[in-house]
Amino acid sequence: MKPANSVPIHVKSSAGGYSVLCRRGLLPHAAREIGNLGQFSSVHVLTSPRVWRAAGKKIRKGICSPLRAHVHLFNDAESAKNLETVESLARKLVRGGADRKSLLVAIGGGVVGDVVGFVAACYFRGVALVQVPTTLVAQVDSAVGGKTGVNLPEGKNLVGAFYPAKLVLVDPELLRTLPPREFQGGLAEIIKYGVIADARLFAFLEENITRLLARDANALQHVIRRSLQIKAQVVSRDERESGLREILNFGHTFAHALESVTRYRKFQHGEAVALGMMCAALLGHETVHTPPDHVARIIALTRKIGPLPQWPSVSVRRLFDAMRSDKKTKFAKVRFVLSPKLGYARSYDSVSEAAAIRVLRFGRQLPAGPLPPARKFL
Tell the burial category of 309 from Cβ atoms under 10 Å away from its Cβ (0-12, 13-18, 19+).
Answer: middle
Query: What are residue 169's phi and psi, to 5 degrees?
Result: -115, 115
CA angle 235, 238, 244 (to 5 degrees): 100
Contact 157, 114 (CB under 8 A): yes
207 is catalytic: no
Give the three-class secondary structure for 96: coil
- Gap between the Cα atoms of 315 and 127, Å rounded: 44
Q: Detail the DSSP E strand segments found in the chain.
A: 9-11, 18-22, 43-47, 70-73, 103-108, 128-133, 147-152, 155-162, 167-170, 336-341, 344-348
Tell the burial category of 53 from Cβ atoms under 10 Å away from its Cβ (0-12, 13-18, 19+).
Answer: exposed
239 is catalytic: no
Which one of 231, 297, 327, 335 is the catalytic residue? Answer: 231
DSSP state of 330: B
265 is catalytic: no
249 is catalytic: yes
- Gap between the Cα atoms of 10 and 237, Å rounded: 12
44 is catalytic: no
245 is catalytic: yes
241 is catalytic: yes
Which one of 2, 125, 265, 376 is the catalytic residue? Answer: 125
CA angle 52, 57, 62 (to 5 degrees): 105
Which one of 256, 285, 294, 335 is the catalytic residue? Answer: 256
Residues ≥6 apart with Cβ < 8 Å to 378: 282, 285, 286, 358, 359, 362
Which one of 44, 147, 294, 328 is the catalytic residue? Answer: 147
Please provide the size of the chain in residues: 378
Which one of 81, 182, 192, 249 is the catalytic residue? Answer: 249
Residues ≥6 apart with Cβ < 8 Å to 45: 59, 63, 64, 69, 70, 71, 72, 105, 107
Which one of 33, 78, 182, 189 is the catalytic residue? Answer: 189
Q: Bridge-partner residues for 160, per DSSP?
A: 149
Which one of 23, 44, 226, 252 is the catalytic residue? Answer: 252
252 is catalytic: yes
92 is catalytic: no
- Gap between the Cα atoms of 47 and 191, Å rounded: 27
Which one of 5, 166, 241, 304 is the catalytic residue? Answer: 241
189 is catalytic: yes
The rounded radius of gyration (Å) of the Cα atoms in the chain is 20
- Residues noted as catalytic: 125, 147, 189, 231, 241, 245, 249, 252, 256, 269
